[in-house]
Structure 1
Amino acid sequence: MPCRGFACGAALGFLGDLVVGDPRRGHPVAAFGRAAHALEQRLWRDDRGRGALYAAVCTGTTVAGAALLARAVRGRRGADVALTAAVTWAVIGGTSLAREARAIGGALAAGDLEVARERLPHLCGRDPSSLDAQQIARAVVESVAENTSDAVVGALVWGALAGVPGLLGFRAVNTLDAMVGHKSPRHRRFGWASARLDDVVGWPGARLTAALAVLAAPDPRGAARVARRDAHRHPSPNAGPVEAAFAGALGVRLGGTLAYGGRVEHRPVLGAELRAVRTGDIERAVRLSRRVSLLALGCAIGGRAVGSLLKAGTTRTGKARNR
């Protein structure tokens, strides 16, 4: 059977991320971020309506532009594959995630706490100044879990559902949430729409990530038990299932007190009966993330193929009835 556009493109883009990773300069997502920041300076008001307009403009123009690109290459197999591959490579970030996590893990293993603290903001938004080695390791494992969904699986899910517009639209929403979706004084109202939109589009990817983490765990039953019991305890509707599943799959305790965005949060513990995170668990989390990502690629390609077959069957049935 000839390789279809999405299957080939997604697989090539995924491979490109594994081999090349993100470019140091000129990344398309960074260009989107600069444009979104410029628009924020023009539209910002301490108002939810202005924030909703901002989210709609940024996301809508991205999806519309992606749809035009997809239409331009429709019916041209090579161009279709190339576009899907390039966009998939641009929107997923599994290699950069693994690289940053391992860099922090290496610093911790070498006993260099200051370097680990300096690198932690590259991975998550927590205040590292007062964190000890165990707390930094826990933050890295939690970030690997959440970003497996945000940086890889969620994009693949939306690519399977909507092709290139789905891939770019998901990344646009996720980027806006990172930029304005937090509860800082400036963005508490303005970023509300971006944060809620990210909750909606991230829902399917988070559930798939959690399910695949349980499936890939050494003890799937134990991982499933922790995931079912603790997912709802997390304040985020999407991070909760993912972090609880990773906690169960790795056999470690996640959650608890953290400093984030200038405030202290006391989050419930996920996997309370399990042991505390150790430095070596960072590498284990990265490997689990890789397994989950590969399984998600297979699910995305398979799901897209099933959808195409169902659509083709419906079309043939409709034509037969009209004869």
Structure 2
Amino acid sequence: MRAKRVDHLGFACGAALGYLGDLALGDPRRGHPVAAFGRAAGAVERRLWRDHRGSGALHTLLCAGGAAAGAALLARTARPSRTAGVALTAAATWAVLGGTSLGREARAVGGALAAGDLDVARERLPHLCGRDPQALDHQQIARAVVESVAENTSDAVVGALVWGALAGVPGLVGFRAVNTLDAMVGHKSPRHRRFGWASARLDDVVGWPGARLTAVLAVLAGPDPRRAWRVARRDASRHPSPNAGPVEAAFAGALGVRLGGTLAYAGRVEERPVLGAELRPVEVGDIERAVRLSRRVSLLALGTALAGRAVGSLLGKSIATRRSR
């Protein structure tokens, strides 16, 4: 029992340190572990690609499964030393979180819009999302940034913390690997429509708990929880994504803005249902409000993840005690 308690305390310390590391440092411009994984996954894709779901499933298994297995091996190696375990958890948490870089990029676009420099805003927008910036005007870019902040709060922070609480370092690394693969091959381009199917579906599965927690925390952390809850409950299912829907609807209600509508991806126009139709359009100042809400949600998610892991440890101890009687 003492070993499990030490493991929980070590994870809590490591996760908190990793969160602070992301808060203070963000992502490095070069040598980021996630970027290295992306290059490796790209190399595997070039060897395995076939216009077939089976080939894509093998790609997902090798890349995401390999990353999680490697993390599990490192965690087992570090287990005898509490210091090594804390250091590994801190490094993994810092590597998989992207909250600071998310806020930095959102503010960069917001600053360009506030200065009236639409060209710079369009140039920076691809750092946040895959939309065609040339097809967007001033207000549409602001809306795209708020929607990206909402969705990526779940993908880049909360989801990883949830899986870290559930499965430790392998959960952290495995979640980020799946999410990265989805960004690489999960979109519905002609090349990846079949090949990326497995990555996209797996991302939907592993993203489910983090998206729901993000939505709940956004409702609680916003200035008007009743409005946020009303919009989230009513509009979440209208979104085509099972995970982006609850998050974006909750952010729309929390910020009091209207999200959704016409989107443009590489020349392809898509009409999405409007979330919070009775609310006002997004303004440039809402980008900063969205970033601040994202920060509050992220901090609450860290506390929730650590508390959940502690409760799980206590329940496990209680069950083990009953069985030993």
Same fold (TM over 0.5): yes
Match of 1:266? 271
Match of 1:205? 210
Q: Give the partner amino acid of 1:163.
A: G
Distance 2:301 2:26 in 1: 18
Matched, 1:43 2:48: yes
Distance 2:246 2:185 in 1: 23
Match of 1:182? 187
1:232-255 Cα offsets, whole Å, 9 max, x none, are 000000000000000000000000
For residue 86 of structure 1, the aligned residue among 82, 85, 91 is 91
Match of 1:233? 238
Q: Give the partner amino acid of 1:91.
A: V
Superposed, which structure 2 residues align to 1:24-173 within 5 Å?
A: 24-173=29-178
Distance 2:192 2:269 in 1: 18
Distance 2:84 2:323 in 1: 30
User: By how many angstroms is 1:278 displaced?
Assistant: 0.1
1:68-93 Cα offsets, whole Å, 9 max, x none, are 01101113111111000000000000
Q: Is the 8 A contact 1:5 1:81 kept in 2?
A: yes
Match of 1:12? 17
1:238-291 Cα offsets, whole Å, 9 max, x none, are 000000000000000000001014311000000000000000000000000000
Distance 1:62 1:252 in 2: 39
How many percent identity over aligned positions?
82
User: By how many angstroms is 1:29 displaced?
Assistant: 0.2
Matched, 1:293 2:259: no
Q: Which runs of 5+ in 1 are unaligned?
A: none
Match of 1:313? 318
1:201-227 Cα offsets, whole Å, 9 max, x none, are 000000000000000111101100000
Q: Give the partner amino acid of 2:46.
A: Q
- Give the secondary-structure state (helix, strand or coil) at the position aligned to 1:236: coil
Q: Structure 1's 309 and 75: CA in aligned 2 closer, same or farther, altered over 3 A?
A: farther
Shift >6 Å, 4+ stretches: none
Matched, 1:278 2:283: yes
User: By how many angstroms is 1:146 displaced?
Assistant: 0.1
Match of 2:221? 216
Q: Give the partner amino acid of 1:287.
A: R
Matched, 1:302 2:299: no
RMSD: 1.0
Q: Give the partner amino acid of 2:218.
A: A
Distance 1:261 1:199 in 2: 23
Q: Which runs of 5+ in 2 are unaligned?
A: none
Q: Is the 8 A contact 1:206 1:242 kept in 2?
A: yes
Distance 1:11 1:261 in 2: 39
1:137-196 Cα offsets, whole Å, 9 max, x none, are 000000000000000000000000000000000000000000000000000000000000
User: By how many angstroms is 1:313 displaced?
Assistant: 1.4
What is the aligned length?
320
User: By how many angstroms is 1:130 displaced?
Assistant: 2.1
Q: Is the 8 A contact 1:184 1:261 kept in 2?
A: no
Q: Give the partner amino acid of 1:31.
A: A
Distance 2:292 2:267 in 1: 31
Q: Give the partner amino acid of 2:253.
A: G
Q: Is the 8 A contact 1:14 1:89 kept in 2?
A: yes
Distance 2:51 2:249 in 1: 34
- Give the secondary-structure state (helix, strand or coil) at the position aligned to 2:133: coil
- Give the secondary-structure state (helix, strand or coil) at the position aligned to 2:134: coil
